[in-house]
Structure 1
Amino acid sequence: MSAYVIDSALFRDQFSTAATRSIFSDEQTVQKWLDVEAALARVQARLGIIPQQAADEIQAKARVELIDLAELKQEMDRTSHPIVPLLRAMKKVCDGDTGEFIHWGATTQDIVDTGTILQVKEALEQIENNYRRAQAHVIALAERHRDQTMAGRSHGQQALPITFGFKAAVWAAEIGRNLERLRQMKERVLVGQFSGAVGTLAALGEQGIAVQEALFRELGLACPEICWHVARDGMAELACVLAICTSTAGKIAHEIYSLQKTETAELEEPFTMGKVGSSTMPHKRNPPACEGIVAISRVVRSTVALGLEGMMAEHERDKIVLQTEREFVARLCCMADAAFAKLAYVTAGLTVRGNNMERNLSVQKGLLLSEAVMMKLGDHLGRQEAHELVYEICMDVFEQGGTFKDGLLANPTIARHLKPEDIDRMLDPQAYTGAAGTFVDRVVASHRGVAT
């Protein structure tokens, strides 16, 4: 039995992906620590701080497969420390006294923080790729269904006609803004940590800054202007931005979920034979992928509080923060990637039921076009008087039945100003989608080139 869904052989693919699980596995966590130590040794050898022979040996032996992880775990439990047992293990596998030169001038948090950032960097590449895939599918939906008229809804009620392409374009534009947030965030988050015990690099004297700058060039990370041992705003921003991004995914999924309801039936997430909706009702075609995305978005939003709590660190070092981040950073990235992979799947195979969209346009027997009538009548009566008159007719139709057209024709004031053929034109949903198509074209042109 697994204590958490990401570790469950049964449920893990609903809440994570194989790629992100691998990135945050124990093996990769230790390997990232070793990668930092090896890069540090290479840089220090070039600067003449440690012997080249030692750096070569450290580089050759900085491989997780050479470390007994079970023994490492026992030592971590015994010492209550993550890196000292690793340094001892490395000393064992390195020839001669070369292992004495590993971790020169570093502190544990330098290695742990930088290792985590290397993992986050890989995870963000995976996450962004899946998000871009989803955006490309949504843009394709917007373009394909540019002129597919459907009911626009506000407050859960039919409001005015829109097109499905317009709805999808709103999604695509929001995803585009989120991708820009991810890009901007990476400039602040993908920053290495190498500052020594309290952030001053005192152990390396005058060479400290040179080592720091060369180390992060080696690792492909930005160099901080000052240590961030207790400045965890970067990790808090990671949580906040991924929460925003997954909330967009959750909103889109919930919209599809809502429009898949039997009485509406305008959209449906991908269905293949064998997909079962119920153990007792064979007819059910449920939206489990969309439900999963919405659920994940809720869990991801819960990590924001933990990210912000991490900013409340003390003095120059604080392990409480590291312990908190160890619990949620991997979970955050795994779930975000799962949400975007699922969204890409749903939007790639989304069924758009245009016939049902057309059918639902007439559910209110013409009331959907009340604004069109009011605005035209306003030319003759003034807007407010027209609103009052059309309102009374609409409420009567709503309560008593009949059609909006009949109600309009029966009113002598309206009959004096509007001809039956004018009313027919005004009650045509396809003729009252405004600039929906233009907005779709604008979004497609703006985002297609970057959604790759």
Structure 2
Amino acid sequence: MTSALFDPLFGADRVAARLDDASWVAALVAVEVALSRAAAEHGVVPAADADRIEAAAASLRIDPAALGRAAVEGGNPVIPLVRMLRSAAGEAGRSVHPGATSQDVMDTAAVLLVGWAGEVVLEDLRGAADAAARLAREHRDTPMIARTLGQQALPTTFGLVAAGWCVGLDRARVRLAEVIGALPVQFGGAAGTLAALHPHGPAVAASLARALRLADAAPWHTERTRIGELAGALAVAAGACAKPATDVVLLSGTELGEVSEAAPGDSSSMPHKRNPIAAVTARAAARRAPGLAAVLLAAADHEHQRAAGPWHAEWQTIAELLRATGGAGARLRASLEGLGVHPDRMAANLALTAEADGPPGHAGELVDRLLAQRP
């Protein structure tokens, strides 16, 4: 859940602002309004009713806490929301929720929320990758020791290290953008057959998708591979953030001192310490992602044509996973955009191992090659 205390610390505040209770309510209402419009487009409900429903929705003031309490009986907030909209729309209330089931509205609202929050996540992933690319260019030929299994190995360059960070972040960002962009509208009715709107069901679904700027698809009520793909893409993106964050933490250690953050954190008991807090909190946020992704993957076994439990487990988990990955990206971006690099310390550490004496192979060429391939 959103937290005024912890979201800024773990970088999730901007993402959380698009995933709070008010955002959920706004997404649910947006789906219901768009559905009435789509149904009116095909003559299923009167166009005047759709107008009145939109106006009623705009004037409706919904308390998320009250909606949550009202949702207990039916097991989801769509049921009481539909009652509220029908009451507010008067006679036009007959045209609220035409041909839909609660899962249609919940799933489509969740897709909208993923898109809204995903904009922030993708922006920070891009910012972190851009910062890594800048470090790679600036330090293309800055020699340092490569370390394998925790031990000094052979010479490399800091530019090649940063270029590797950039590649991972770019790959994760592109894949996540693909998955988010492909998430479709959900509209199938009570049993996924669109029976209530026959013969207009597919046409209404297509219009609903256009209105909400989502992909169109056949009903996917209990076919949850898209949610699994989203979980995987978010978890991979978190992992892509964790790698450079871990390197920054290690390279910032007193014994190495090869990098330092622009705004390091203090210690409450040791004034001499300058902790790489942005990288530390990026790692912390990223650590939560695999477990949250596992919940979504474990909930993929939706039984028959409507799941009793696995579907409900997705709602908050998706939001939590977006916050974890978004937080990791935001804190890593802060770390890399202000990262100080200390070539003198790199040179001193490089000199500790006699076997490390020599050129860093084709490191510079590899930096150029990797950066030239950026999407």
Question: Hey, what does 2:13 align to over in structure 1?
Answer: 18
Is the Cα contact below 8 Å between 1:191 and 1:222 reproduced in 2? yes
| Structure with the greater alpha carbon radius of gyration | 1
Partner of 2:320: 331
- How far 1:72 moved relative to its partner? 2.4
The count of corresponding residues between Structure 1 and Structure 2 is 375
TM-score (norm 2): 0.96
Indicate if the aligned counterparts of 1:31 and 1:64 stay in contact, CA closer than 8 A: no
Q: Which residue of 1 aligns with 2:333?
A: 344
Question: How far apart in 1 are the matches of 2:25 and 2:366?
Answer: 49
Change (3 A) 1:191 1:64: farther
2:85 match: 90
Kept after mapping to 1: 8 A contact 2:11/2:282: no
Q: Secondary structure at the match of 1:254?
A: helix
Q: 2:128, 2:59 → 1: CA distance?
A: 35
1:287 Cα offset (Å): 1.6
Instruction: Map 1:216-295 to 2 at 5 A.
Output: 216-224=209-217, 226-271=218-263, 275-276=265-266, 278-295=267-284
RMSD (CA atoms) = 1.6
Residue 39 of structure 1 is matched in structure 2 by 34
Identify the match of residue 209 of structure 1 among 202, 208, 227: 202
CA contact (8 A) 2:10 2:284 kept: no
Deviation, structure 1 residue 156: 0.9
Code of the residue aligned with 2:373 in structure 1: it is S
Give 3-state SS (helix, strand or coil) of 1:434's partner: coil
Between the two proteins, what is the percent identity of the paired residues? 36
Check the 8 A contact 1:34/1:63 in 2, yes or no. no
Native 8 Å contact 1:34 1:64 kept in 2: no
Distance, in Å, in 2 between the alignment partners of 1:32 and 1:215 is 14
Q: Which protein has greater RCO, CA pairs closer than 8 Å, 6+ apart?
A: 2
Alignment of 1:10-159 (within 5 A): 10-63=5-58, 65-94=60-89, 96-159=90-153
**2 CA distance for matches of 1:163 and 1:244?**
26
Measured in 2, the distance between the counterparts of 1:71 and 1:311 equals 30
SS at match of 2:198: helix
Distance change in 2, residues 1:248/1:341 (3 Å): same
Structure 1 spans left out of the alignment, 5+ residues: 1-5, 370-428
Letter in 1 for 2:191: V
Structure with greater proportional helix content = 1
Unpaired stretches in structure 2, ≥5 consecutive residues:
none
CA contact (8 A) 1:145 1:163 kept: yes
Deviation string 1:329-367 (CA, Å, 9 cap, x unpaired) is: 101101111111111111110010110001111112x22
Residues 131 and 333, structure 2, Cα contact 8 Å, conserved in 1 = yes
Range 53-62 or range 173-182, more displaced: 173-182
Q: In structure 2, do the counterparts of structure 1 residues 287 and 60 end up closer, same or farther at CA, with 3 Å as the change threshold?
A: same
Q: Which one-letter code corresponds to 1:28 in the other structure?
A: S
| Alpha carbons 1:236, 1:310 under 8 Å: kept | no
